[in-house]
Amino acid sequence: MTAPLPLAHLAAALLVSLCLTPPSSAAPLSGRLATPAGAAPALTVYAWSLTRARLYWVSTAAGQAGYTIEVPPGRYWLFAAPAEPGAPQVYGAHTQFVPCARATREPGECVTHALRAVAAGRKAVGGIDLTDWHLDDAATSELDHLLGRADGEVIDEAELAAPKFSEYPAAPFAGPLAGALQAGADPGGGRELLPGSVLSQPANFAGRMQLQRLGCGAGCVGIALVDLATGRVSYPPALAELPAGTACSARGPLVFRRDSRLLTVTGREHNELVTHYYVWDTDAGTLRQVAALASALGERCATAR
């Protein structure tokens, strides 16, 4: 699934706009995924529109060998970044080096690692491989800017040791859907009710769970977790009142994946930026905190009002 994001709202909307759909005129771009070590980790693949100044994106799973992303006609930069919290802030991209390396086997002949623009039209375009992980400083700085990352931001050892989505895998759901939600599905506390179509929507968390956002007041979002197999609905207290967005995290306050039982909640707590790591226990229907990572407030977060 891909979604266009206005640059002015990119930092807060990268996660929140998961449910947006691409325009009807979208055409697919595709290519290989690989790293110098071989298979790629779970990635977010981005397409930056040089024509519209908008970002489109799609998620890939660990070990996935290729990607497809649908975008409107125009000119684009294509790049990818590791999707797991705490992963090093590095990029694999489609650069001048990629087609050069495909065309020659002479060592040292391909030396340019600048971003290479590609044209999207009404028809599919392939061969846009994201296999160059040695971008030059100018390209890296430009991509940092597009994603709202601070230039030269350093990931410390604690962050690298944080829980990873891949450490808590969840198998895809292939069983029958529940016929109805279980009794007691009213969230209370003034929150919105679950939509009646919730059981017809695909799982987006922990294999068979449907994570639903419910309004709980101005600038507030509450989370309901629906088990598509049983119809059981849970309202974890840790997810009861999240901000609708935050200037403190480019990914937004909540990060989760369909193929993992891990989710993270990030926000400002007093004079620190704190990420809480929770794991969903499908059998018990509970959310358990497994770690918390605190760091100094970044400039964007410290100056936010």
pTM for this prediction: 0.51
Angle, alpha carbons 281-283-289 (nearest 5°): 15
pLDDT-based confidence at residue 47 (cuts at 50, 70, 90): very high
Average confidence score pLDDT of the chain: 79
The mean per-residue pLDDT over the stretch 281-304 comes to 75
Name the helix (H) or strand (E) containing 291. Answer: strand 286-296
Buried b (16+ CB within 10 A) or exposed e, 197-218: ebbeeebebbbbbbbbbbebee
The mean per-residue pLDDT over the stretch 138-153 comes to 75
Query: Is the same domain home to 17 and 150?
Result: yes
Checking if the pLDDT of 161 tops 70, the result is no
> pLDDT digits over 65-95, tens only?
999 999 999 999 999 998 876 677 789 999 9
The mean per-residue pLDDT over the stretch 104-123 comes to 85
Domain that holds residue 232: 166-302
Query: Is the same domain home to 112 and 63?
Result: yes
The mean per-residue pLDDT over the stretch 195-203 comes to 83
Instruction: Examine residue 187 and state whether it is found in any structural domain, yes or no.
Output: yes
Query: Is the same domain home to 224 and 285?
Result: yes
Query: Is the same domain home to 136 and 24?
Result: yes
Query: Is the same domain home to 43 and 170?
Result: no
The mean per-residue pLDDT over the stretch 23-46 comes to 83
Checking if the pLDDT of 108 tops 50, the result is yes
Instruction: Examine residue 254 and state whether it is found in any structural domain, yes or no.
Output: yes
CATH number, domain with residue 57: 2.60.40.1120
Query: Is the same domain home to 23 and 82?
Result: yes
DSSP, residue by residue, 90-156: --EE-BTHHHHHHH---TTS-----B--EEE-SS-B----B-B----HHHHHHHHHHTTPPTT----
**What is the distance between the alpha carbons of residues 178 and 206, in angstroms, rounded to a whole number?**
17
> pLDDT digits over 210-229, tens only?
999 887 767 678 899 999 99
- Structural domains of the chain, count: 2
Instruction: Examine residue 160 and state whether it is found in any structural domain, yes or no.
Output: no
Burial of 291 (0-12, 13-18, 19+ CB in 10 A): middle
The mean per-residue pLDDT over the stretch 129-138 comes to 90
Instruction: Examine residue 106 and state whether it is found in any structural domain, yes or no.
Output: yes
Instruction: Examine residue 212 and state whether it is found in any structural domain, yes or no.
Output: yes
pLDDT reported for residue 281: 94
pLDDT-based confidence at residue 138 (cuts at 50, 70, 90): confident
Residue 184 corresponds to which tokens in the numbers above?
């007691």
pLDDT > 70 in the chain, percent = 75
Instruction: Examine residue 58 and state whether it is found in any structural domain, yes or no.
Output: yes
Looking at per-residue pLDDT, the higher value among 151 and 48 belongs to 48
Question: For residue 202, what is the DSSP state?
Answer: P
pLDDT reported for residue 20: 37
Checking if the pLDDT of 23 tops 70, the result is no
pLDDT-based confidence at residue 5 (cuts at 50, 70, 90): very low
Checking if the pLDDT of 163 tops 50, the result is yes
pLDDT reported for residue 250: 53
CB 210 within 8 A of CB 263: no
From 107, 122, 155, the end of a domain falls on 155
Query: Is the same domain home to 211 and 237?
Result: yes
Looking at per-residue pLDDT, the higher value among 100 and 137 belongs to 100
pLDDT reported for residue 68: 95
Residue 274 corresponds to which tokens in the numbers above?
């704190």
From 135, 155, 175, the end of a domain falls on 155
Looking at per-residue pLDDT, the higher value among 77 and 269 belongs to 77
pLDDT reported for residue 11: 37
Checking if the pLDDT of 18 tops 60, the result is no
The mean per-residue pLDDT over the stretch 175-197 comes to 71
pLDDT reported for residue 189: 52
**What is the distance between the alpha carbons of residues 253 and 195, in angstroms, rounded to a whole number?**
23
**What is the distance between the alpha carbons of residues 26 and 23, in angstroms, rounded to a whole number?**
6
Instruction: Examine residue 161 and state whether it is found in any structural domain, yes or no.
Output: no
Instruction: Examine residue 199 and state whether it is found in any structural domain, yes or no.
Output: yes
**What is the distance between the alpha carbons of residues 48 and 128, in angstroms, rounded to a whole number?**
14
Which residues 6+ apart lie within 8 Å of 27 measured at CB? 70, 71, 72, 73, 120, 121, 122, 123, 124, 125
Query: Is the same domain home to 133 and 46?
Result: yes
From 123, 155, 187, the end of a domain falls on 155
HEC letters along 148-164 = CCCCCCCCCHHHHCCCC
pLDDT reported for residue 46: 93
Query: Is the same domain home to 246 and 151?
Result: no
Q: Is 199 helix (H, G, I), strand (E, B) or coil?
A: helix
Query: Is the same domain home to 134 and 172?
Result: no
**What is the distance between the alpha carbons of residues 276 and 192, in angstroms, rounded to a whole number?**
25
Q: Cα-flanking dihedrals φ and ψ of residue 165, to 5°? A: -55, -40
Query: Is the same domain home to 178 and 141?
Result: no
Query: Is the same domain home to 192 and 269?
Result: yes
